[in-house]
Structure 1
Amino acid sequence: MSIHGTTNCDLYSNLLHYDDSEFLILSFNARSLSNKIIHLKTLLFLVNPTIVLITETWCNSSISDHSLNVDNYVFFRTDRCYGIGGGTIIYVRSDIQACKFEDKSLDAIDDSTWVTVNCGSQNYLLVGCIYRPPHADTKFDKLLTNIFSIASHQPHTFKIIGGDFNLPKIKWGLTPVPGRYNKLVETLEICGWVQQVRKPTRGNNTLDLMFTINIDSISVHTSHEFFMSDHRVVLGIIHSLNAIQLNSKASLMYQSRHFDQQTWKRTGTLIQCLPWETYFTTNNVDIALSNLYHNLIYCLDCTAPVIGRVAYNANRGQNTFKRKLRKLKCRYYEQNDVYALQSILKLINRNASSKRKYFMNIENKALRSKSPELSILRLFKSRVKSNSLGTTKFFIVNGSIVNDPNTICEQFSKHFSQCYKTGTENSIITFPMLTSRHLSKIDFTPSNIKQAIAALKKSYDGGPDGIPSSFVKYGSREFPLFCLKLFNLSMEYGTYPSVWKTSLITPRFKTGPRSDIINYRPINLTSVLSRTMEKIIHKQLLSFLLSASLISPSQHGFMTKRSCFTSHLEFFDQITQKRDVGQSVIILYFDFSKAFDSVSHKLLLLKLSSFGIQNPLLSWLKSFLEERSQIVRFGSCYSKPVNVTSGVIQGSVVGPLLFLLFINDVCSLFQYGKPFLFADDLKVVYSFSSPMKESYISAVIQEEINKLYEWTISWNMPLNVDKSGFIHIGRCLNLNLTVQTHTLKPLNTVRDLGLRYSNSLNFSEHIISQVSKARKLIGLIMINFNNIESRLLLYRKCILPILEYGILVYSNCRHTDLIRIEGVQRRFTKAVLRYSDNKDYYQRCQQLNLEPLWIRRIKLNLVFIYRLINGISYSSVSTPSYLMISSHNLRNKENILAIPRTHTNLRQNFFLIRYSTMWNRLPVNLRCSETTTRFKSLLDDFLSESGLCHLLNINVFNNDLYKQGPSSI
């Protein structure tokens, strides 16, 4: 069928007879949407429906929202997560207030999408789009029946569910109903659902249905088939909803400060002329800061005034195009001119082609910019971002729908403040002194202040105090002097400025339904001057704590030289050691509930003093913690201030370090188990020999769980038992472990710091997940970018970090999984070169300047070994040690690592064993490199084909090895 087929002409002619000022709903089965988007744009332009329900979109995560855009519409999509086919999408006219409605029960059917529409006068419409496969089983039908029941009890006044249900055996309005569908039809009748479609929608069968509740005045018609689909379009006209709530038109003006190169010159001159007598003579930190802000804001207003700008309109070049479309639409509508329709299709096609050229020009411009990597990454983010409304407009609160921004803002404030605790400290608790050393003061100097200011990120957005970081960084050479006065005054009197004690909170979505406030976490915005001061305090405080060995070696979070990698290394080293000697391993995972927000200020100060922190620093930290308040910002609305009575500020620099000190002693509770901490993520490893009785093992572990529970009660740090559990490796034990009255659940797999551990320790699930994620991103890159250079840049920046996360454990993976990882790059190189020739993997990598992933893993892991040996990365127990070599021994034996004997493949393939062996095969000049940069350079030179053969202890380097890599690498 040609794009100008008569079927489409008949479809448009039929639908144009209806008044688009009515509330129109279109519903049809597209049988693939992305390749028919031009025809969808034409249909929506001509008919102008309010809502469009489309099933069988056949979209997946590699199809970006950008490619599904339709002018004047927003959309909400659900893609099938497995196989091909399926998928649903709902388009809503952009002048309608609508947002996605997410509910776990309603989302039980994968091919379904739900949207809430504001109808005005506190009335809301629930719109659902469902696809039921033609061969759905009774289990699916039971689920569908349940969903109709659940949807009928939602708080919306009106409800519509449409889509392709593939129920040809049900003759709607007639009896009897086939026995299999009795329960479904009975539920529809009991819940008040009315099926409105009475005419066939595919052949002689009525498959595309529309169910309604509380909608009396509706007429439903069927038209012709959509382009290249065998399903007719269903049109519903709701006469009772024509007074629907419309979106208010947003202003095209926004306010910002104008900065340029001359701004900084004018700023430096003006700052020197401002009155600073009060600032430098007062001994009151609040008065000093008030005077500083007064002068800085005045300087900003003079040199970079706030101006109104017209927001960039991406469609401003489309005015001529839209004007032509409107004329052709009128001609087609008035004269039923088929040639006008053909002209519309040609014009939309030509416009799509122009847009593609425009996007290519933007891409090429980004590559030619001063920082092409940053420009391309920003462009990628903008092209793949979700097209649905950025801010959720409706929330479910206590079973009611709320859309008033002020009410929503207050509800967020109430939710975020619920975790704070007041007056629950144990008054008789004591804590021993941990050191005879002490730290009472932080030294602020022009040098360390300059260093802290230089490390600030470049930003022109004002913080809570209106001061952008770029203004502090580039504004004047006098800023370190101003900061020196302010910081020393604050520290001398042990007073944190009152202005900085009010935090601005913005809600950030985590996971789950967006309409539920509990699925958001608070993000603190703090003053740039406060962060600058905190950086210096953090550096000197952490240096003192580490020099006195006061922080537990089991803690790997928020500290220099420690990371997720060092945590995984020590954890997996412990497991492989115990398994190598035949012991069974049990790993307990504990989750603390709202850990950062639950910290008692009184108890934290008690612990800080035990670490040797004295006044005035202790007083400053007390002032930093206490008498704080927070204000939530939602859109342009602000909540009332709420007191922050517990917790450490997560948006601050010092806050996370204070939390580490608060939770530090939890590791001392475990005598039999080996604890591992990353911030508040706690896991404990227990190992037992086979002859030990199950009852003894259970008793030992339960005793330490009880100790942990007592600690959480004493220090007001409750456990979230629902998110805690245990996993066993080796001998299967039937353990009954409890936290008070709650039973710890056994786990088969667990996601731990980005890696998925399982009983088998082969990491297949982790690799499958990472490969799937990488393939989806590659699909987005290939669709949205055309230049090879852009694709390669995005591959290196976005895909390689996914494929190379956790490579410390890859040597314990199955070879088939490692081949699966390499296959991602093999397919990418083919796709980038457009399958234009028969070059093999080696030739493609050479042309694109890429290395096989297995060679990259060798390099990255050997670099990590170098960092461990030289103390650049921290490890308390897993640092490789050198052998003591006699001076009479053979040459090339300098810096040789000791390799312990192993008994199992699990331990033999462990990272430290495998790569220590490789390290010993490196040339002596490479092992003795003085810097990491030098080591990387020499390693690149060494790893030619002959070097790889020597390193891997193989004779021949062939194409199969290059393509698949060796096992256990």
Structure 2
Amino acid sequence: TDRNDSPELNVINLNARSVVNKIDTLEFLLIAQSPHVVAITETWLSSDIASDCIVPPNYKLIRRDRTTRGGGVAIALRNDINCVELECECNETVWCRISYCNRVFLIGVVYRPPNAPIDFLECLNDFLCKHVKSDTRVILTGDFNLPHVDWDLMVAGGVDIPNGEKMLEIMFNHNLTQIVKDCTRITDRSQSLLDLVFISDSISEYEVSVNEGISDHKMVVFSTPLPRHGPCRASMPITVKDFARADDTSILDYLETSLEAFEQLSTTGTVDDLWNFLKTTIYFCIDHYVPSKIKYVHRTNPWITREIIHLKRRIRRHRKNNKQSMNALKSSLKTALREAKESFFSVTLHNFIKTAPEKFWRFLKGRKEPIEQIVDGDIIITDNLEMAGHFNRFFQSVFSAHEPHVMREASSDDTEISTPGVVITLPGIFAKLLSLDTKKSTGPDKIPNAFLKRYAEWLSYYLKIIFDTSLQTHTLPQEWLSARVVPVFKDGSRLRVDNYRPISLTSVCCKVMEHIISKHIFTFLEDRGMFYPHQHGFRCGLSTVTQLVETFHDFSFAVNNKQQVDVICIDFSKAFDRIPHGKLIWKLKALGLGSIIINWIEAYLSNRSQRVEINGSLSAPLPVSSGVPQGSVLGPLLFLIYINDIATYIQAPTKLKLFADDCLLYAPVNNSVDQLNLNRNLEILRQWCDDWKMQINFRKSAYMHITNKRKVLKFSYNMGDVNLNNVDSFKYLGVTISNDLQWRAHIENVCSSAYRSLGFIRRKLKDATRDAKLTAYKTMVRPILEYASVVWSPNKKVDKEKLEKIQRLAVRFILSRYKRTDSVTRMLHECGLQPLETRRKIARLKLFFSLYNGQLKIDPALYLKEVHKRSRRLNHTKTVQPYSSRIDVFKYSFFAQTIEEWNSLPECVINLLDASHFESSLEELFSN
């Protein structure tokens, strides 16, 4: 059946391995499926075989035969498709521009022989540079003979890495996506993905399948719909308060006159009475003195103007029998759309970077994907209220059961430390209110941050009285104990509620008080050195990078000394949600924080409730029986306090490293006795978890033997009766650490992630200005390439090249220059982009500078030794004793490598005291 009115374009990619002896099979295929296009590779045709002998009369054949035996490509097209063949210098390639249902496609078929030189793909790239524009709909098919390329991770492997990497570069440069996932050639000994389909980003909807073919290759069937655009609402109006037009004088007068009554109430009223008074006052001001305005939430692209919308409406209302007038309208719409888009990317978006950066990032990141449905067993839930209730019940299910307080009271010895009282000042509250982000969501009280910030001076008087009363009576307003919970997607299936984490939105005024309490406790504990020293989470002067630097130094130092290190990665399950409140309060008392703070925190944790919000619908409230609220200010600090004594009974040489709830346990091992001791420490850790109700996720916990020896000391580590998994690598704080301490796997992961991010901004900003592209690259791609690079900075040329290649691809995109003759070095200089290797060196020296000058909470004496016997050959007076390196793993680790670089710096740079001046001096030094 001929399907001239089909709303989709159907394409088949077929490896024939000789068409001549399969003419009947091909004819059946064309009659049965009536595809619009059939791309054929390995036709094995010669010039003496006529095309009308190959395809039926309702098809035409565009072909390119090989002059020798084998090979050859062709495109068979239905006669109802308008087609123009394009000239291409590449061998065994056919390109044509087709028009169907008012849609234009650029379709190509390629057969790349297994051992073809890289010039073949260079020629293909040159053709695409010439013919592909930003809005071109490209369908590139064929047999590429690149079985070892991972098209999802964008990693080339096998013996033909250069051609694989070149094809990945072509794919990236021209916004192409390879959509075939299943193997297309299957034999008794191998399965390979050879027959590919690349499509451009302008083809957003498609279906693809792999079916039985007519040779030993399967055929790929691809279709893309050609939808008829129906009317849709361009925007949705919502009503918001316009604080820019607020009657500030009336509001300030009302706040001033109400303060006297509030102060009188404070002598007799409860903290709830005071909070309700302030809330009522704020609501009155907003209702009477802040006008409303209509805000439109646009559902169209941001370059759609009123003129475009007007032209669309005129076309919809126009009589179709007046063809000439209709064509004029369509031409006007096309022109208006093109000009509006050009104006948006060249002017509006460019101005956003300087005047309204939040709008630039909002466009780039796009809207968050809403939760539209979840599954409960076999049941699909789509009702917002029902989904909210389901989420809330799941989040509540992970809480620990409420336990009676049966632990001994902290002794007088525990609490004898003199603790200064919490100081609440008007300037402190005022400064905190002024720092509020007016774009952030409100808590359950619905008080806008814009109001709190705009009228911070007078509101500070009210809040100081509430805060003082709350501390003195160790009570909190009931509304401060409720949370509006927003589920935030982690990973996995979006339909499963266990793939979301709860983020609590609480009262902003309560958070201001939490900041005051939190700062007081942090200062108290840090000044007395009471935090576990190897806990680097949520602490000023420490970070994931400092934790990784210290940890990897331990690993590489041991291996450099011919030792094996056994490391165990412990995963806690829902750690923040399971903390029993009674046990946490006991630990606060044991620290000697003082009764005022402890009583207030106990009230803060008691009688809490939460409601989950999904698309504006709120679930019924449920009680919160354990845990610290995620998204609160006090939550991280309380967690650090709870886990602070986890290493109390861990015996040396075993070390325990913590970053919040990320936990590593490791030790150098020379024999089975050392391994038994490490396992004993692991059992001590498990016992602590049992005592303090912390649950270990045994499925995600694992151990690894780190060594460069051929003979590995094997040992099966266990916790109780559970044997942990043995792995060759694991990810710790975002960095993949392998058992040989090489960075191959990590760099591949980094490059894959950076490719994806760069591909994303290419799709979003393909028509943007250079500045917009450069800003996006520096913010969204380069940080991926540089996160914690002071730890994993590669020393091998091949690894350095992988990273630099991504920046070279980026700069070509930024400047829209893809020709072979364009100098990448000149382009990098034009964009002010330093080589990544230079940036990594500067980052190492900056961190070393901070450590040397005591700006980190790490004792420099643990790692840095001064040179006692000074020589005239020393470059400067701050020379540090170098490490002796036996192997490259240690030689190129942070301390060993950076000390050498530090010692080679000139005196004028090394004596700088300001970190920013030190960095700028390094940049000037290395640029020269």
Q: Which category of TM-score, normalised to the shorter sequence, fits these structures?
A: 0.7 to 0.9
Per-residue CA shift, 1:393-431, capped at 9, x if unaligned? 222113212222222111111101001122346835677
Give the gaps of 5 or more residues in structure 1: 1-6, 16-25, 44-62, 69-78, 86-109, 113-129, 142-160, 171-179, 181-204, 209-228, 236-245, 946-969
- Structure 2 counterpart of 1:416: 395
How far apart are the structure 2 equivalents of 1:37 and 1:645?
Answer: 65
Residue 703 (structure 2) pairs with residue 723 (structure 1): no
Of stretches 297-306 and 521-530 in structure 1, the one that deviates more from structure 2 is 297-306
- Structure 2 counterpart of 1:851: 834
Q: For the structure 1 residues 265 and 881, does the alpha-carbon distance in structure 2 shift closer, same or farther, using more than 3 Å as the test?
A: farther
How far apart are the structure 1 equivalents of 2:848 and 2:445?
Answer: 45
1:468 shift after superposition: 2.2
Q: For the structure 1 residues 460 and 560, does the alpha-carbon distance in structure 2 shift closer, same or farther, using more than 3 Å as the test?
A: closer
Q: Is the 8 A contact 2:402 2:626 kept in 1?
A: no
Q: Quick one: which amino acid aligns to residue 301 of structure 1?
A: D
Per-residue CA shift, 1:572-624, capped at 9, x if unaligned? 11111211211101110001111001000000000000111121111001001
- Structure 1 counterpart of 2:538: 558
- Structure 2 counterpart of 1:607: 587
Residue 847 (structure 2) pairs with residue 868 (structure 1): no
Q: Is the 8 A contact 2:352 2:360 kept in 1?
A: yes
Q: For the structure 1 residues 841 and 391, does the alpha-carbon distance in structure 2 shift closer, same or farther, using more than 3 Å as the test?
A: closer
- Structure 2 counterpart of 1:928: 911
1:81 shift after superposition: 1.6
Q: State which of 283, 287, 306 in structure 2 corresponds to 1:301.
A: 287
How far apart are the structure 2 equivalents of 1:412 and 1:675?
Answer: 35
- Structure 2 counterpart of 1:902: 885
- Structure 1 counterpart of 2:185: 135
- Structure 2 counterpart of 1:678: 659
How far apart are the structure 2 equivalents of 1:322 and 1:133?
Answer: 45
Q: Kindly report which structure 2 residues correspond to 1:780-791, keeping only aligned pairs within 5 A, or say none.
A: 780-785=760-765, 786-791=768-773
Residue 670 (structure 2) pairs with residue 620 (structure 1): no
Q: Is the 8 A contact 1:811 1:914 kept in 2?
A: no
Q: For the structure 1 residues 14 and 513, does the alpha-carbon distance in structure 2 shift closer, same or farther, using more than 3 Å as the test?
A: closer
Q: Quick one: which amino acid aligns to residue 298 of structure 1?
A: F
Residue 648 (structure 2) pairs with residue 668 (structure 1): yes
Of stretches 302-311 and 732-741 in structure 1, the one that deviates more from structure 2 is 302-311
- Structure 1 counterpart of 2:516: 536
- Structure 2 counterpart of 1:525: 505
Q: Is the 8 A contact 2:580 2:693 kept in 1?
A: yes
Q: State which of 499, 502, 507 in structure 1 corresponds to 2:482.
A: 502
Q: Quick one: which amino acid aligns to residue 302 of structure 1?
A: H
Q: Is the 8 A contact 2:7 2:226 kept in 1?
A: no
1:647 shift after superposition: 0.4
Q: For the structure 1 residues 486 and 519, does the alpha-carbon distance in structure 2 shift closer, same or farther, using more than 3 Å as the test?
A: same
Residue 256 (structure 2) pairs with residue 268 (structure 1): no
Q: Is the 8 A contact 1:588 1:727 kept in 2?
A: yes
Q: Is the 8 A contact 1:702 1:737 kept in 2?
A: yes
Number of residue pairs aligned between Structure 1 and Structure 2? 765
Q: Quick one: which amino acid aligns to residue 902 of structure 2?
A: W
Per-residue CA shift, 1:677-710, capped at 9, x if unaligned? 0001110111112xx23xx244222212221221
Q: For the structure 1 residues 866 and 511, does the alpha-carbon distance in structure 2 shift closer, same or farther, using more than 3 Å as the test?
A: same
- Structure 2 counterpart of 1:124: none
1:911 shift after superposition: 0.9
Q: Quick one: which amino acid aligns to residue 273 of structure 2?
A: I
Residue 926 (structure 2) pairs with residue 943 (structure 1): yes
Per-residue CA shift, 1:457-505, capped at 9, x if unaligned? 2337533212222322222422322222221121122222221000111
Q: Is the 8 A contact 2:353 2:772 kept in 1?
A: no
Q: Is the 8 A contact 1:440 1:617 kept in 2?
A: no
Give the gaps of 5 or more residues in structure 2: 11-32, 40-95, 105-131, 138-149, 157-176, 192-205
Per-residue CA shift, 1:485-533, capped at 9, x if unaligned? 2211211222222210001111111111111122111111011111111
What TM-score comes out, normalization by structure 2 length? 0.74
Q: State which of 806, 810, 830 in structure 1 corresponds to 2:812.
A: 830
Of stretches 749-758 and 924-933 in structure 1, the one that deviates more from structure 2 is 924-933
Q: Kindly report which structure 2 residues correspond to 1:141-220, keeping only aligned pairs within 5 A, or say none.
A: 164-167=209-212
Q: For the structure 1 residues 262 and 499, does the alpha-carbon distance in structure 2 shift closer, same or farther, using more than 3 Å as the test?
A: closer
Q: Structure with the greater relative contact order (CA < 8 A, sep ≥ 6): 1 or 2?
A: 1
Q: Kindly report which structure 2 residues correspond to 1:590-739, keeping only aligned pairs within 5 A, or say none.
A: 590-672=570-652, 673-689=654-670, 692-693=671-672, 696-730=673-707, 731=709, 732-739=712-719
1:882 shift after superposition: 5.4
Q: Kindly report which structure 2 residues correspond to 1:238-387, keeping only aligned pairs within 5 A, or say none.
A: 252-260=236-244, 264=248, 267-274=251-258, 276-279=260-263, 281-283=265-267, 284-312=270-298, 314=300, 317-323=307-313, 326=316, 353-354=338-339, 356-361=341-346, 363-364=348-349, 366-367=351-352, 369-371=354-356, 373-382=357-366
Q: For the structure 1 residues 845 and 14, does the alpha-carbon distance in structure 2 shift closer, same or farther, using more than 3 Å as the test?
A: closer
Q: Quick one: which amino acid aligns to residue 669 of structure 1?
A: Y
Q: What SS does structure 1 have at the residue aligned with 2:240?
A: strand
Q: What SS does structure 1 have at the residue aligned with 2:475?
A: coil
Q: Kindly report which structure 2 residues correspond to 1:746-757, keeping only aligned pairs within 5 A, or say none.
A: 746-757=726-737
Q: Is the 8 A contact 2:8 2:224 kept in 1?
A: no
- Structure 2 counterpart of 1:917: 900
Residue 801 (structure 2) pairs with residue 819 (structure 1): yes
How far apart are the structure 2 equivalents of 1:827 and 1:313?
Answer: 33
Q: Is the 8 A contact 1:762 1:813 kept in 2?
A: no
How far apart are the structure 2 equivalents of 1:330 and 1:403?
Answer: 41
Q: Is the 8 A contact 1:435 1:548 kept in 2?
A: no
Per-residue CA shift, 1:726-757, capped at 9, x if unaligned? 11111523322222222100011111111111
Residue 152 (structure 2) pairs with residue 81 (structure 1): yes
Q: Quick one: which amino acid aligns to residue 561 of structure 1?
A: G
Q: What SS does structure 2 have at the residue aligned with 1:529?
A: helix
How far apart are the structure 2 equivalents of 1:759 and 1:30?
Answer: 51
How far apart are the structure 1 equivalents of 2:282 and 2:694?
Answer: 42
Q: Is the 8 A contact 1:675 1:683 kept in 2?
A: yes
Q: What SS does structure 1 have at the residue aligned with 2:736?
A: strand
Q: What SS does structure 2 have at the residue aligned with 1:633?
A: strand
- Structure 2 counterpart of 1:949: none
How far apart are the structure 1 equivalents of 2:886 and 2:492?
Answer: 46
Per-residue CA shift, 1:85-137, capped at 9, x if unaligned? 9xxxxxxxxxxxxxxxxxxxxxxxx999xxxxxxxxxxxxxxxxx97664356
Q: Is the 8 A contact 1:271 1:476 kept in 2?
A: no
Q: Kindly report which structure 2 residues correspond to 1:453-468, keeping only aligned pairs within 5 A, or say none.
A: 453-459=433-439, 461-468=441-448
Q: Is the 8 A contact 1:586 1:728 kept in 2?
A: yes
CA-based RMSD of the aligned residues comes to: 4.4
How far apart are the structure 2 equivalents of 1:793 and 1:166?
Answer: 44
Q: Quick one: which amino acid aligns to residue 921 of structure 1?
A: S
Q: Is the 8 A contact 1:880 1:897 kept in 2?
A: no
Q: Quick one: which amino acid aligns to residue 630 of structure 1?
A: Q
Q: Is the 8 A contact 1:688 1:697 kept in 2?
A: yes
- Structure 2 counterpart of 1:516: 496
Q: Is the 8 A contact 2:443 2:508 kept in 1?
A: yes
Q: Is the 8 A contact 1:729 1:759 kept in 2?
A: yes
Q: Quick one: which amino acid aligns to residue 445 of structure 1?
A: T
- Structure 2 counterpart of 1:576: 556
Q: For the structure 1 residues 247 and 560, does the alpha-carbon distance in structure 2 shift closer, same or farther, using more than 3 Å as the test?
A: farther
Per-residue CA shift, 1:15-37, capped at 9, x if unaligned? 9xxxxxxxxxx9989999xx999
How far apart are the structure 1 equivalents of 2:152 and 2:599?
Answer: 54
1:140 shift after superposition: 12
1:671 shift after superposition: 0.7
